């Protein structure tokens, strides 16, 4: 079966659930035919249980059995070129199903006066036009999987219309008056009587090599992680920009058209399997924006001032949301999201296009921009602030002018309490140990006054950055703002590193207080300095021995 971009082998034995010697679930009228029940058992095993298969739409199974991508159309609201869409789909060997809605459970499988069955899955097997009284009439061929019970209106098997169609034309359309469940009807009548059409477009790897008209397909795997990349939909502007962003390059127009056609299908993974743990299908969707032409993750302001070019029809709690779009060639940014923020799931995004389209993750490359550490030089004139520090330092350290982590904790908390515009809890001893490990050039586990002065300059810069992103002045900042805050401090990180840092430093409310922010920056600077010291000419990687 196809699962999120890979074919999985499922191995089963041939024991099947029975009751009174008869198969309980899927079975054939022939009592010695078991392939369907064995296939069903494998599908149940893949999803965790027979119970997990209950409910859902035909399209899920069509996709899992073929690796295709589904599209759903409401016939009454279908686009003007619906006939062409169906014609193209059948040419590409896509699977096409159709059905009539029921208004109540009692109507399920009810037969209409035209011989059609409500709430029943029909398949579409052909589409063509025929010459009738000198006019071209659009026809569609439907099959009832029961193998009997057919449409009895115009163009049905024995209807008078066929008498005016040449035998040659009848042969070309394989028209035969058999009660085999298959029948032609006029496309206009089809639109009146049927309500839903489901198309499963097969991917190139599910088609045989000699089939013309193939889709190009690109696949993208990702995750929404609470606190860092689970930003919710555009209604939640403060966090929407933190969702994963995928860049889409549409380069070639469709044959004879000015636009590029593509289908974007966003699927949430493993929700049926997780059903027994209480996981429901999340409500998902996506928006597509025109790319501003610069690289890197787009920020909040971009989405505040730019409307989307296209988006999924609705946010819905289906396994997969897919839509067809026509856009002029160019670069676009697709933002897949859950409806509410802070909802976690893995997803798979597939782009099917008529011509080659290129996608790339708009994740940032890891880039560190650290100023060279200044060498402490004794300045002839000390500032007022430095004089105060020196006095405090002497008072605590004694003559050697060096302080331990415990003493640093006392100094910093004493100074920060006087800083009016920042509101936070005390700095912890562990933060002070980390500061010393970052600043201690002599390696004696203590901080000299000159080292402290260099650190204090850094500290002032970090306080300013923190205040800039502590929007409500509560003494903590949202973890979703961490990407921007770290960038301001010189650290450009990718989604994976951000997710790890948020898990490590934020609380349950996705807030980061100053002590944790400070620790995070010290850890990052320490790691970066070590990397810089050990990296040779090639700045991309380092070699370490076990001691290092």
Catalytic residues: 120, 144
Tell me if 454 sits within 8 A of 439, measured CB to CB.
yes
Q: Is the dihedral of CA 426, 430, 433, 435 positive or negative?
A: negative
CA dist 203 and 459 (Å) reads 55
Residue from 147, 358, 157 nearest 249 by CA: 358
Q: Establish how many alpha carbons lie within 13 A of residue 468's alpha carbon, considering only the half-sphere containing its beta carbon.
A: 14
Gyration radius of the chain over CA positions: 33
CA dist 41 and 13 (Å) reads 9
CA dist 493 and 487 (Å) reads 8
3-state secondary structure of 164: helix
Tell me if 460 sits within 8 A of 467, measured CB to CB.
no
* Per-residue tokens: 242: 């933190």
CA dist 210 and 403 (Å) reads 78
Tell me if 192 sits within 8 A of 78, measured CB to CB.
no
Place of tokens 């004089």: 387
H helices within 318-383, ranges in order? none
CA dist 276 and 258 (Å) reads 48
Place of tokens 């899955």: 121
Q: Name the β-bridge partners of 476.
A: 513
3-state secondary structure of 229: coil
Tell me if 117 sits within 8 A of 109, measured CB to CB.
yes
């Amino acid at each position: 079966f196809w699962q999120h971009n890979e074919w999985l082998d499922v191995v089963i034995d041939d024991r099947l659930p029975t009751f009174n010697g008869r198969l309980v679930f899927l079975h054939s009228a022939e009592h010695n035919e078991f392939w369907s029940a064995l296939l069903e058992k494998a599908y149940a095993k893949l999803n965790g249980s027979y119970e997990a298969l209950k409910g859902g739409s035909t399209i899920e199974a069509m996709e899992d059995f073929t690796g295709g991508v589904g599209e759903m159309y409401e016939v009454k609201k279908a686009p003007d070129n619906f006939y062409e869409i169906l014609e193209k789909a059948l040419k590409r060997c896509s699977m096409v199903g159709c059905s009539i809605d029921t208004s109540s459970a009692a109507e399920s499988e009810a037969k209409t006066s035209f011989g059609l069955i409500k709430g029943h899955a029909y398949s579409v097997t052909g589409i063509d036009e025929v010459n009738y009284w000198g006019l071209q009439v659009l026809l569609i061929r439907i099959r009832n999987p029961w193998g009997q019970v057919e449409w009895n209106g115009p163009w049905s098997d024995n209807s008078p219309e066929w008498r005016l169609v040449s035998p040659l034309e009848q042969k070309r359309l394989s028209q035969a008056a058999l009660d085999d469940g298959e029948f032609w009807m006029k496309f206009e009548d089809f639109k009146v009587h049927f309500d839903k059409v489901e198309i499963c477009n097969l991917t190139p790897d599910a088609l045989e090599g000699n089939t013309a008209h193939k889709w190009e397909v690109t696949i993208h795997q990702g995750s929404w992680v609470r606190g860092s990349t689970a930003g919710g939909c555009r209604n939640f502007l403060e966090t929407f920009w933190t969702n994963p962003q995928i860049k889409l390059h549409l380069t070639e127009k469709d044959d004879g058209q000015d636009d590029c056609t593509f289908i974007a299908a966003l699927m949430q993974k493993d929700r049926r399997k997780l059903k027994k743990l209480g996981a429901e299908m999340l409500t998902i969707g996506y928006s597509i924006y025109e790319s501003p032409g610069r690289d890197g993750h787009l920020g909040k302001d971009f989405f505040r001032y730019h409307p989307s070019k296209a988006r999924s029809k609705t946010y819905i709690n289906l396994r997969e949301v897919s839509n067809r779009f026509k856009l002029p060639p160019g670069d676009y940014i697709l933002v897949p999201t859950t409806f509410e923020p802070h909802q976690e799931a893995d997803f798979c995004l597939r782009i099917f296009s008529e011509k080659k389209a290129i996608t790339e993750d708009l994740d940032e490359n890891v880039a560190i921009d650290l100023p060279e550490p200044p060498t402490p030089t004794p300045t002839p004139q000390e500032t007022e602030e430095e004089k105060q520090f020196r006095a405090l330092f002497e008072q605590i350290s004694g003559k050697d002018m060096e302080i331990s982590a415990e003493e640093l904790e006392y100094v910093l908390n004493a100074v920060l309490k006087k800083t009016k515009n920042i509101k936070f809890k005390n700095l912890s001893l562990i933060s002070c140990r980390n500061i010393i490990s970052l600043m201690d050039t002599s390696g004696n586990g203590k901080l000299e006054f000159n080292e402290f002065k260099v650190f204090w300059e850094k500290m002032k810069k970090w306080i300013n950055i923190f205040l800039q992103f502590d929007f409500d002045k509560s003494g903590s900042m949202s973890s979703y703002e961490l990407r921007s805050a770290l960038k301001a401090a010189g650290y450009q990180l990718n989604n994976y590193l951000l997710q790890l840092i948020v898990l490590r430093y934020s609380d349950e409310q996705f807030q980061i207080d100053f002590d944790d922010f400070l620790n995070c920056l010290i850890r990052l600077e320490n790691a970066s300095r070590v990397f810089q010291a050990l990296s040779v000419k090639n700045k991309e990687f380092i070699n370490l021995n076990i001691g290092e």
